Amino acid sequence: MNTSRGHSRSQSHSSRSSSGGYRNQRSSFGSRGFRPPQRRPSRSFKGADIHHSKFISRAEPIAAAAPYVPKHTFADFAIDERIKQNISRKGYVTPTPIQDQSIPRILEGRDIVGIANTGTGKTGAFLIPLFDKVVRSRHERVLIMVPTRELAIQIDDEYRGFAAGSGIRSVCVVGGVNISPQIRALRDDPAFVIGTPGRLKDVMERGELDLSQFKTLVLDEADRMLDMGFINDMRHILAFMPKERHTLFFSATLSSDIEKLIHEFLNDPVRVSVKVSDSSKNVDQDIIRIAHGRTKYEHLHELLSLPEFSKVMVFCRTKHGAEKLVRDLTRAGFRAESIHGNKSHSQRQRALQSFKDERAKILVATDVAARGLDIPKVTHVINYDVPNSYEEYVHRIGRTGRAGEVGKALTFIEH
């Protein structure tokens, strides 16, 4: 790993230099102003142990991969014609690779291990055949477990498109919102229950969700659920499901811990891998050394004032830090929103939509709040606070450099 570029940052920060780095210049901030120097954080957290060289890497050239030629069209699949009509209304004609390879095997009733990045169409890969299963047998019940409420909501929205006009209901069972409407929806016996582990356990303990009749299970972003410490909740919930069940397991990574879960939860699964290169390889990564006498906020202000920083995610370590930063940026005239654990469900959804629609150019987030988000065309990720682990760092910078584009990631380093 070349560390010389990072070393040079002690003299060159913030404004673009001819060599492609960022120079530290005390430029005037004009009418927007800047915040006074901030207290520097303690280095008594785990991220302080990550060597700075791990935050520096050039993006690899994106090879022109041969286009994938699907074996099927959606019209070829042995699914109900009404589902095909809804698929057509959504504008889908050609399946993505994960859909092309998974849907026929799921329709056969096989357990699936799908290794795929976010944004590859894996939601459709499991919703289409499972909805067909419920259409053909109305007593079928499906549980979809995911790590975050944002992902659960995305899946529920996608489901409603495939299920339009069918009258077959779903319910989204997630924390951060009033549980009463979710309980009422569960009492209507929905065919699909989409939820996060904590809230699923809650409604089960209240006697509002009986999983004994749920013979189909989807574990989406299983690696993230493992990272977030949900493994015991997952085991607890699965213990209430029939031993003989149809299980679909999706993950972006395939570690030894994930292999153990596959062995524990699935029966003779078919493996489908359409994972493209790690998104971090599509990201130019560098560090910004904070000069003596200057603050992180001053550097951030200068960067965000540059025209190329057009859609930026800024990561903070704490909820309080994220909220303070977005207030400062808003006062300075930037269009900024924040998502963190102290935000209500509706506030988080509004902030995300504003950023997706580019009404806001900056989204300030904490790590847990940003998990599972699929936001297109993020130009830059800025690690305002160093992450707690390198794995968290990789997850953060994976918000950019998607869909064949080169992204940029910058990590602030204080002396």
What are the pLDDT digits (tens) for 250-273? Answer: 998 888 889 999 999 999 999 998
Instruction: Give residues with Cβ within 8 angstroms of 221, minimum separation 6.
Output: 118, 146, 147, 151, 250, 251, 252, 372
User: CA-to-CA distance for 282 and 296, rounded, in angstroms?
Assistant: 26
Residue 174 identity (one-letter amino acid): V
The predicted model scores a pTM of 0.67
- Tell me the domains of the chain and their CATH numbers: 4-62+278-413 (3.40.50.300), 74-273 (3.40.50.300)
User: CA-to-CA distance for 151 and 149, rounded, in angstroms?
Assistant: 5
Instruction: Give residues with Cβ within 8 angstroms of 68, minimum separation 6.
Output: 97, 100
DSSP 11: T
Each residue's pLDDT tens digit, 8-35: 333 334 434 333 444 443 333 333 444 4
Q: Supply the pLDDT for residue 13.
A: 40
User: 35's torsion region: left (phi>0), alpha (psi -120 to 50) or beta?
Assistant: beta
Q: Supply the pLDDT for residue 39.
A: 43
Cα→Cα distances 34→27, 148, 300, Å: 11, 35, 10
pLDDT band with cut points at 50, 70 and 90 for residue 274 = confident
Q: Supply the pLDDT for residue 193.
A: 98
Q: Supply the pLDDT for residue 51.
A: 75
Instruction: Give residues with Cβ within 8 angstroms of 257, minimum separation 6.
Output: 226
- In the block, tokens 């150019």 appear at 361
Q: Would you say residue 309 has pLDDT above 90?
A: yes
Each residue's pLDDT tens digit, 324-361: 999 999 999 999 999 988 888 788 889 989 999 999 99
Q: Supply the pLDDT for residue 397.
A: 87
Q: Supply the pLDDT for residue 150.
A: 86
Percentage of the chain lying above the pLDDT 70 cut: 83
Q: Supply the pLDDT for residue 43.
A: 41
Q: Supply the pLDDT for residue 398.
A: 82
Q: Would you say residue 301 has pLDDT above 50?
A: yes
Q: Would you say residue 295 has pLDDT above 80?
A: yes
Which string of DSSP letters, residue by residue, matches 129-174? Answer: HHHHHHHH-TT--EEEE-S-HHHHHHHHHHHHHHTTTS---EEEE-
Q: Supply the pLDDT for residue 46.
A: 52
pLDDT band with cut points at 50, 70 and 90 for residue 196 = very high
